[in-house]
Amino acid sequence: MNMKTYKGLALALLGLAACSDRGSIPENQPVQMKARLESFASCAALESYIEDAAVLDMRSTLERSKPSYWKGRGGWFGGPVEYADGAGAPTPTTAGGGSSGPKDHTGTNNQVEGVDEADFVKNDGTRIFVLSGQKLYVHRSWPAESLRVESSLTLEGWPRQMFLHGNKVVVFSSVNAPYSGSSVGGGFVADCAYMGPCGHGASTTKVTTVDVSDLAAPQVTSEVYLPGGYHDARLAEGSARLVMRDSFRWPTGVRFWPEYSQDLWNDQARLEKELDRLMAHNEQLIRAAALTQWVPEGRRKLPDGTVETLGYDCHDFHKTNAPTRLGLVTVATLDLDAQTFQPPGRVTLVTEPGEVYATADALYLATPHWWWWPEAGQTDHTYVHKLDLSQPHRASYVASATVKGILLDQFSMDEHEGVLRVATTISSRVAEAGNPWGRTETANRVFTYGQEGGQLKLLGQSEELARGERIFSARFVGKRGYVVTFRQVDPLFTFDLSDPAHPRKVGELKVPGFSSYIHPVGDSHLLTVGLHVPENGDWRTRAVKLSLFDVSDMANPRETFTQLVGTAYGWSESLYDHKAFNYFPAKGLLAIPFTDWTPVYNGDYWSNFVSELRVFRVDTAAGITPVGALSMKDAYQVINSNQWSWVYTPYVRRSVMADDYVYAISDAGVRVAHVSNLSSPLATSRFSPYTAQ
């Protein structure tokens, strides 16, 4: 192996001095306790860094494919997985109110007040917009009994999520846009089925701005294409922050397995040599690739159909001094209040994407420390990078932290009065006889950080919590924090965070099962959704569970009310997506999507199928009371395609509540009913994501 090849990457990316006896696989690197980012001095430096990183990643991947690698670790060496391209790869009803609009309504369930999160459903009380299939469906939703689709608009690619900002709908879609250098076309592709988007047809995010001032005739006003797959987005004060992720776009001809033949497979010594030859060939292709092939420019499609290039500044790319997995994360800023088109301001991190948390002033990106292989003595860490959002046209990197443990989701982070609070599960690998990778042990903590220059400095940490368990949900509310862990029972921990230097656990409550989402109700209660799991683990008695906790006495939290929902077959999207959890404080109502199946055979599967919106009244004194269900069960469709047909099931996924009306939203329609008579819908809109475009 030519170590000179890797010198730049060894010093800049991973701090390697040499490779190990594992061939091209580098040694595991220690956790970087003072993580930071630095921008590239030139485009040549950026290109060299990317190529070094790509070569190292490619060689280490192929090294793991060698029979000697697996046999040396007591593993079985079998045949490649065959893909279509032949490449082997790892593996009662009253009037619906006045026409001016409802007095109150729900919107997206956002983590931070004033910071909107993109979703595939948006509404403003009188209009509901739904992305389904390749279309944007525009609804007039008020008065409620007049619910109807006013129009639809076919969008390029696969629409993912959107924002509603005044009379603008901004849609983020995944499209396959062929790039080769700075021109469209060509063949910058790779035989890399498992490596993610690459080359020709690589993932690109299209930003489509639609003027919806006339609901009957929505008009596209802007089309922008940016390299990278859609990851997440936030909107505050007119500035949308679009987070995209991208894996390396491997050059044409790069392969991660030799051409298959039985003779080669049977001759493992020859196979090893063929893999070495393939590494050398791949490296030549990688070194010959131009920067615009690795990092394509963006494009803007003008109203007359012409296309203009949206370039980038190499100084806006940042590398990390910490070992992280390879990838690109870009934060693009779109000023939705600009009177004329402004090119998106972009900042890119050469690192693996992870969890995203944002306030109106800062955006945090978390990415885990990268171990090349597991071994005893390792403790997982996460690198958190802070971007300043004070400028409406761009984000700017300001500081980083090294956090012990791994974050569960965006709710594992929160900023209050300039202090970042983070809840993590800490996994450590302990030596164990007969296990070369070690035994994994877990614990949990809450950490606090404050910015000092270019560092997020550790201010304090809680005691270790719930050894052997993992965090299943977390929520920070002002100077309080709440963490749920789980193994057989659900401990709810309460924290006093009033002194950032001394975050401390003040209470603990154990109940069967776990909560996967925590929602504050006033200052003294928590409303949660999760699963009831009996301590004996019998799945036949598991069920979706709603709980109301009284945390007015933080030292003695109490589960005051519970409500089990459905059977053991039941499920709700709100269990893993907080945007499906819709609490309406003005009316004391909670709505969650719910699916179930009653296992009583009567010859008709669909008569036992449940797809509905469950509605509950929530009162901190009276508890959680079922109001009823707004069903969408009858909206399923039989899809016919040539010689076969199948049933499309339109699961309820979102909801809107406006005054005393409840709207259930699925991929196939919207239905509304008065809360006092959910079984008698007032109106239904129908559409199909599988309608031919």
- How confident is the model over 94-140, as pLDDT tens digits? 444 555 799 999 999 999 999 999 999 999 999 999 999 999 999 99
Coil vs helix vs strand at 315: helix
3-state secondary structure of 178: coil
Question: What is the pLDDT, as a whole number, of residue 11?
Answer: 37
3-state SS string for 254-309:
CECCCCCCHHHHHCHHHHHHHHHHHHHHHHHHHHHCCHHHHCCCEEEECCCCCEEE
- Is residue 251 within 8 Å of 199, Cβ to Cβ? yes
- What confidence score (pLDDT) does residue 188 get? 35
Whether residue 2 is predicted with pLDDT greater than 80 in this model: the reply is no
Alpha carbon separation from 39 to 11, 14, 311, 402, 478 (Å, rounded) = 15, 16, 17, 19, 35
* Strand pairing report for 219-227 and 179-180: unpaired
Query: What is the amino acid identity at position 268?
Result: Q
Instruction: Say if residue 197's pLDDT is above 70.
Output: no
Residues 6+ apart with CB under 8 A from 372: 25, 26, 27, 28, 60
Tens-digit pLDDT profile for residues 63-78? 888 887 766 555 444 4
3 state DSSP class of 137: strand
Could you tell me which residues are beta bridge partners of residue 335?
239
Per-residue buried b or exposed e for 608-646, using 16+ beta carbons within 10 Å of the residue's own CB: eebbbbbbbebebeeebeebbbbbbbebbbeeeeeeeee
Report whether 673 contacts 680 (CB < 8 A): yes
Distance CA 629, CA 484 (A): 29
pLDDT, tens digit (0-9, with 9 covering 90-100), for 149-169: 999 999 999 999 999 999 999
Question: Residue 57 is inside which H or E element, if any?
Answer: helix 43-63
- Which H/E stretch holds residue 70? helix 67-71
Residue 196 pLDDT class (50, 70, 90 cuts): very low
Name the residue type at position 560: T
pLDDT in tens, 403-422: 999 999 999 999 999 999 99
Given this model, what pLDDT does residue 649 score? 63
CB 199 within 8 A of CB 190: yes
Q: Which two tokens stand for residue 491?
A: 């401990």
Residue carrying structure tokens 């070369």: 436
pTM, two decimals, is: 0.89
More confident residue, 26 or 474: 474
Helix (H) or strand (E) holding 9: helix 7-9
Angstrom distance (rounded) from CA 134 to CA 147: 22
pLDDT for the residue numbered 533? 86
Nearest in space to 673 (alpha carbons), one of 684, 662, 665, 664: 662
At 437, the amino acid letter reads W
Strand order in the sheet with 609-619: 582-584, 589-597, 609-619, 623-631
Q: Classify strands 558-565 and 582-584 as parallel, antiparallel or unpaired.
A: unpaired
Distance (Å, rounded) from C-alpha 674 to C-alpha 615? 11
Q: Closest Cα to residue 450, out of 499, 412, 409? A: 499
Regarding predicted confidence, which is higher, 672 or 192?
672
Helix and strand counts by DSSP (H, E) for the chain: 6, 45
Tell me which amino acid residue 628 is.
G
The residues that bridge with 396 in the sheet, in sequence order, are 388
| Element holding 639 (H helix, E strand) | strand 637-641
What single DSSP character describes residue 79?
P
C-alpha 348: how far from its chain's center? 18
Determine the 3-state secondary structure of 634 from DSSP. helix
Three-state secondary structure call for residue 433? coil
Whether 617 and 588 have beta carbons less than 8 Å apart is answered as: yes
Strand partners, 334: 240
Q: Is 342 exposed, middle or buried (0-12, 13-18, 19+ CB in 10 A)?
A: middle
CB burial class (10 A; 0-12, 13-18, 19+) of residue 577? Answer: middle
Average pLDDT score, the chain: 86
Give the whole-angstrom CA distance, residue 483 versus residue 611. 31
SS3 328: strand
Whether residue 534 has a cis bond before it, omega within 30° of 0: no
pLDDT tens per residue, range 465-510: 999 999 999 999 999 999 999 876 668 999 999 999 999 999 999 9
In this prediction, residue 71 carries a pLDDT of: 62
Q: What is the pLDDT of residue 102?
A: 95
Structural element, H or E, at residue 618: strand 609-619
C-beta neighbour count of 217 within 10 angstroms: 12
Predicted confidence at residue 541, as pLDDT, reads 79
Q: Which amino acid appears at position 609 of this protein?
A: F
Between strands 356-358 and 362-368, the pairing is antiparallel
Residue 16 has pLDDT above 70, yes or no: no
Residue with more model confidence, 398 or 93: 398
Token couple for 616: 């509950």
* CA 42 centroid distance within chain: 32
Q: How confident is the model at residue 8 (pLDDT cuts 50, 70, 90)?
A: very low
